[in-house]
């Protein structure tokens, strides 16, 4: 049956109970604006759409938030689902409310290639908005809670499951991190109900049976009250059942049946001050037998979200295992409402450094999380790292000065170093844990004291990424490695261009000249151009063709003139080309089918109208001319053509089988450049998931030079095989 929606006057009454000075006129204006903006829009349940913002505002009032947050609850969907504009909200309600509304607005208008990327990008922007003002998160959580309460009206089962899973993945851990345990538990149960209704109903039925048994909860509470009265400790005692989802989770984690559960109820003892908390703890351990390993002190070491309490498990008065939570009234308020319990009305307080620090400390983790995740351009990577941070349980460790820090379970000393500062992590050489030198990959335990030993010469190792667990450490390591790789590629790209320019007789291009090349070669900037040269995605010849078109044309004309002179017999090219034994006056060219190199046995073939074509002696194409011996000339390279100082370069074609992994092409092009050769063309012939075949044309000086290049390539781990293509 559809629940009745709250009325505006009921919402106002709810707000005035905790904030008698609330701006009622503001709330009424927001209500009227929302009603007019949403007009005749309907919810999936059939209710007027206005029911949703009213219920969201009511949830925020239950959190006792300021009227700006309540007004935003009424307005939060107007920017997305109506014709209202930011400027209109700013004019009517002020910049604070307009900004809050914009921060909460869903970002569904953005187009992405897939839903996973859309979800990840929305999550990134939600976290960014939250880090600026924690109220954005509180309003968003209230919005999600009401949507989950009405999820049954979404007709498609798969859509309900998707929304429920998103809630469990994102909004539940966010609620947990800011201490909204009541809201978190309700979101968990509502999500679980949609994800696995059969299991939900099964546990719900068993809980109802257990409740009707022997009034155990009331009998235990009476016994606890009696013991507290004897000790003259003023306290209140309550018993709270575990939620259906928490029961399910414990059954799964511990591999238990429902009947094997012994702590379905947690008993809370609430006292006046911190001293009484420890007095009650002593009493519990004196009267009842404590269960080893089940005591936690969150008062001296609060959780990052501000939660404080003593937890202990004992054998109760009737032989029952039970968990007892001991806290003060203030601690209980924080435990129930989290950061909302710390909200101080800005119009009712004088801003002081202390109050700002008090408020900011409640969500300092959120700003730290955003700092840790800066530099992650891939939304999916951001999303996964953020989820890792949100879901992590904590391990509490100390600095040498005695400061307490909370890190995720499984954190290493290196995570600790990066938590202190990225530069400390980058320069971390060794660590001492409790005075002992331990490996950087060691896992930290509660109570460890960590001392970091740094060195100016130390740099992050790519292998570090394999064992650090925090987003800040992973991001800092990735950022450093990427910057180092880019700097190396920039240097290499510039060296390739300058060396080729000197070799081919071109002037060294200035950055101003190179800026003309950026757009034609489809690069973002000059640095991108140098990186492309280093990675083999661009070639010096392409740059020369753009910068010096006239010079290139002149060179071509000069080559044509040479050929004409050869035909007319005015110039002997034996020395120029480095070939001896040719007929004077004949044009000479290297056969493209086998690309002969100085130092290799060769043969000349007389080609009608084209002069002499020089082939390798074992070129397969020569078989077709075996019946024409008169076309064969006995030729050889002269001595000058085989020297390192020879001006001519020759093209050899290679075929490589390469491992399909990041950086492969960069490694290959760098190796060729370091071998004093130059890639003039490359082509991927075929590709699989783990290997691909690359055909590559390389300019070399002679056969020995090519053999050196091949050896260098064969020594690369990314190269499976390399062969020369000829004949």
Confidence (pLDDT) at 357: 39
Q: What is 8-204's CATH number?
A: 1.10.3210.10
CA–CA distance, 252 with 261 (Å, rounded to integer): 11
User: With bands split at pLDDT 50, 70 and 90, how would you rate the model's confidence at 270?
Assistant: very high
Write out pLDDT tens, residues 507-562.
888 888 888 888 888 888 888 888 887 766 777 878 888 888 766 443 433 443 44
Q: Is the pTM higher than 0.85?
A: no
* Main-chain phi, psi angles of 67, to 5 degrees: -65, -25
Name the E strands within 170-320.
235-241, 265-271, 289-290, 296-297, 310-315
CATH number listed for the domain at residues 214-341: 3.30.460.10
> Which of helix, strand or coil describes residue 375?
coil
Q: Where residue 633 falls among pLDDT bands split at 50, 70, 90?
A: confident
Confidence of residue 576 (pLDDT cuts 50, 70, 90): very low
Cα dihedral 130, 134, 137, 142 in deg (nearest 10): -160
Q: How confident is the model at residue 344 (pLDDT cuts 50, 70, 90)?
A: very low
Considering the chain, tell me which residue range(s) the CATH 3.30.460.10 domain(s) occupy: 214-341
Q: What CA–CA distance (Å, rounded) separates 223 from 288?
A: 11
**Predicted pLDDT at 120:** 57
Known catalytic residue: 80? yes
Give 577-616 pLDDT, tens digit per residue. Answer: 578 766 544 567 888 888 888 888 888 887 654 567 888 8
Where does CATH 3.30.70.260 sit in the chain? 650-725
Residue 724 has pLDDT above 70, yes or no: yes
Annotated active-site residue in 23, 62, 81, 359: 81
Active site residue 189: no
**Annotated catalytic residue within 23, 55, 67, 80:** 80
User: Among 175-179, 198-202, 230-234, 397-401, whose mean pLDDT is lowest?
Assistant: 175-179
* Superfamily the domain 650-725 falls into: ACT domain (3.30.70.260)
Give the 3-state secondary structure of residue 350: coil
Indicate whether 387 pLDDT > 60: no
Question: Could you report the per-residue pLDDT of 408-450, keeping only the tens digit for each?
Answer: 888 999 999 998 888 999 999 899 998 888 888 899 887 788 9
- Phi–psi pair at 605, nearest 5 degrees: -120, 125
8 A C-beta contact, residue 327 and residue 270 = yes
Strand partners for 408? 394
Q: Mean pLDDT for the chain?
A: 79
Q: What pLDDT score was predicted for residue 324? A: 93
- Please tell me the distance from the alpha carbon of residue 407 to that of residue 392, in angstroms, as a whole number: 8
Residue 480 above 50 pLDDT?
Answer: yes
Q: What is the pLDDT of residue 355?
A: 39
The answer, yes or no, to whether residue 457 has pLDDT greater than 70, is yes
Residues of the chain with CATH 1.10.3210.10: 8-204
97, 324, 377 from 130: Cα distances, Å:
14, 34, 19
Helices (H), 452-525: 471-504, 511-518
Q: Confirm if 274 and 299 have CB atoms less than 8 A apart.
A: yes
By percentage, how much of the chain surpasses pLDDT 70? 79
**Which pairs with CB-CB distance under 8 Å and at least 24 residues apart come from 317-320?**
317/219, 317/220, 317/223, 317/288, 318/216, 318/219, 318/220, 318/223, 320/216, 320/220, 320/262
Q: Rounded to whole angstroms, how far apart are CA atoms 137 and 100?
A: 10
Span 105-128, pLDDT tens digits: 753 333 344 455 555 555 555 556
Q: What is the pLDDT at residue 610?
A: 58
Residue 217 has pLDDT above 80, yes or no: yes
């Amino acid at each position: 049956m559809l629940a009745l929606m709250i009325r505006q006057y009921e919402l106002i009454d709810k707000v005035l109970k905790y904030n008698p000075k609330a701006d009622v006129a503001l709330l009424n204006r927001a209500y009227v604006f929302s009603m007019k903006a949403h007009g005749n829009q309907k919810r999936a349940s059939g209710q007027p759409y206005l029911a949703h913002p009213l219920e969201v505002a009511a949830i925020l009032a239950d959190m006792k938030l300021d009227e700006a947050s309540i007004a935003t609850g009424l307005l939060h969907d107007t920017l997305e689902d109506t014709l209202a504009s930011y400027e209109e909200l700013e004019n009517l309600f002020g910049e604070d409310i307009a900004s809050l509304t914009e921060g909460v607005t869903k970002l569904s208008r953005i187009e992405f290639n897939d839903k996973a990327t859309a979800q990840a990008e929305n999550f990134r922007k939600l976290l960014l908005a939250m880090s600026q003002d924690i109220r954005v998160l509180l309003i968003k959580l209230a919005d999600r809670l009401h949507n989950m309460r009405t999820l049954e009206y979404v007709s498609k089962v798969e859509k309900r499951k998707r929304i429920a899973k998103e809630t469990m993945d994102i909004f539940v851990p966010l609620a947990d991190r800011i201490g909204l345990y009541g809201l978190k538990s309700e979101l968990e149960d509502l999500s679980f109900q949609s994800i696995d209704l059969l299991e939900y109903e099964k546990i719900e039925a068993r809980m109802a049976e257990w409740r009707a048994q022997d009034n155990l909860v009331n009998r235990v509470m009476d016994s606890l009250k009696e013991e507290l009265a004897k000790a003259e400790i003023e306290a209140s005692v309550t018993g709270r059942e575990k939620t259906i989802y928490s029961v399910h989770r414990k059954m799964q984690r511990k591999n238990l049946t429902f009947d094997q559960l012994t702590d379905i109820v947690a008993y809370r003892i609430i006292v006046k001050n911190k001293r009484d908390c420890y007095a009650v703890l002593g009493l519990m351990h004196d009267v009842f037998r404590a269960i080893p390993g089940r005591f936690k002190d969150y008062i001296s070491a609060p959780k990052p979200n501000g939660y404080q309490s003593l937890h202990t498990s004992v054998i109760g008065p009737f032989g029952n295992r039970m968990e007892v939570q001991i806290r003060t009234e203030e601690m209980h308020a924080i435990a129930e409402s989290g950061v909302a319990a710390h909200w101080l009305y800005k119009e009712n307080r004088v801003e002081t450094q202390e109050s700002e620090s008090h408020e900011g400390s409640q969500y300092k983790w959120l700003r730290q999380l955003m700092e840790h995740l800066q530099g992650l351009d891939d939304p999916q990577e951001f999303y996964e790292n953020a989820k890792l941070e949100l879901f992590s349980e904590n391990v509490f460790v100390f600095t040498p000065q005695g400061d307490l820090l909370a890190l995720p379970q499984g954190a290493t000393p290196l995570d600790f170093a990066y938590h202190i500062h990225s530069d400390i992590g980058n320069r971390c050489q060794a660590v001492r844990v409790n005075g002992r030198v331990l490996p950087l990959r060691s896992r930290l335990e509660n109570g460890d004291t960590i001392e970091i030993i740094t060195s100016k010469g130390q740099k992050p190792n790519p292998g570090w990424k394999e064992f650090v667990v925090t987003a800040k450490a992973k991001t800092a390591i990735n950022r450093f490695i990427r910057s180092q790789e880019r700097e190396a590629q920039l240097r290499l790209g510039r060296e390739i261009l300058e060396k080729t320019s000197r070799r081919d007789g071109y002037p060294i291009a200035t950055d101003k000249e190179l800026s003309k090349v950026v757009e034609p070669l489809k690069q973002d900037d000059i640095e991108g151009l140098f990186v492309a040269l280093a990675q083999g995605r661009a070639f010096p010849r392409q740059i020369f063709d753009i910068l010096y078109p006239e010079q290139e044309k002149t060179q071509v004309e000069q080559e044509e003139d040479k050929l004409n002179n050869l035909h007319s017999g005015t110039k002997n090219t034996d020395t120029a080309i480095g070939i001896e034994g040719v007929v004077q006056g004949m044009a000479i060219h290297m056969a493209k089918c086998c690309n002969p190199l100085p130092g290799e046995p060769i043969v000349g073939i007389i080609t009608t109208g084209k002069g002499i074509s020089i082939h390798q002696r074992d070129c397969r194409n020569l078989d077709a001319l075996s019946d024409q011996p008169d076309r064969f000339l006995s030729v050889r390279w002269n001595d000058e053509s085989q020297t390192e100082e020879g001006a001519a370069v020759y093209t050899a074609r290679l075929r490589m089988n390469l491992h399909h992994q990041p950086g492969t092409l960069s490694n290959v092009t760098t190796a060729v450049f370091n071998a004093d050769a130059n890639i003039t063309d490359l082509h991927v012939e075929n590709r699989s998931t783990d290997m691909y075949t690359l055909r590559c044309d390389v300019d070399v000086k002679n056969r020995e030079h090519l053999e050196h290049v091949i050896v260098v390539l064969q020594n690369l781990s990314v190269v499976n095989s390399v062969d020369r293509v000829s004949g």
